[in-house]
Amino acid sequence: MRAKRASKEIVKGDGRQAAADRLNITVGTARSHLSSIFDKTGTKRQAELVRLLFRK
């Protein structure tokens, strides 16, 4: 659930630091959540993830 929220914040385009600040987590934790989402979706970069999320 946290990874999903983190991915939604990161997709807003403000960057990892802004997303981490909004979620009250560290940038490292945001990066970890993002990595988990990459694994689950088969993506490797934020741009790929954004394209995937906007297609759905």
Q: What average pLDDT does the segment 51-56 reach?
A: 82
Residue showing tokens 């987590």: 25
Instruction: Average the pLDDT over 4-27 and give the result.
Output: 86
Evaluate if pTM is beyond 0.85: no
Domain ranges of the chain: 2-55
Alpha-carbon gap, residue 52 to 29, rounded angstroms: 22
Cα–chain center distance at 1: 12
pLDDT at 56: 64
Instruction: Give per-residue pLDDT as tens, 31-52.
Output: 898 899 999 999 999 889 888 8
Percent of the chain with pLDDT over 90: 39
Confidence of residue 24 (pLDDT cuts 50, 70, 90): very high
Q: List the structure tokens of 13.
A: 């385009």
Quick one: CATH architecture of 2-55?
A: Orthogonal Bundle (1.10)
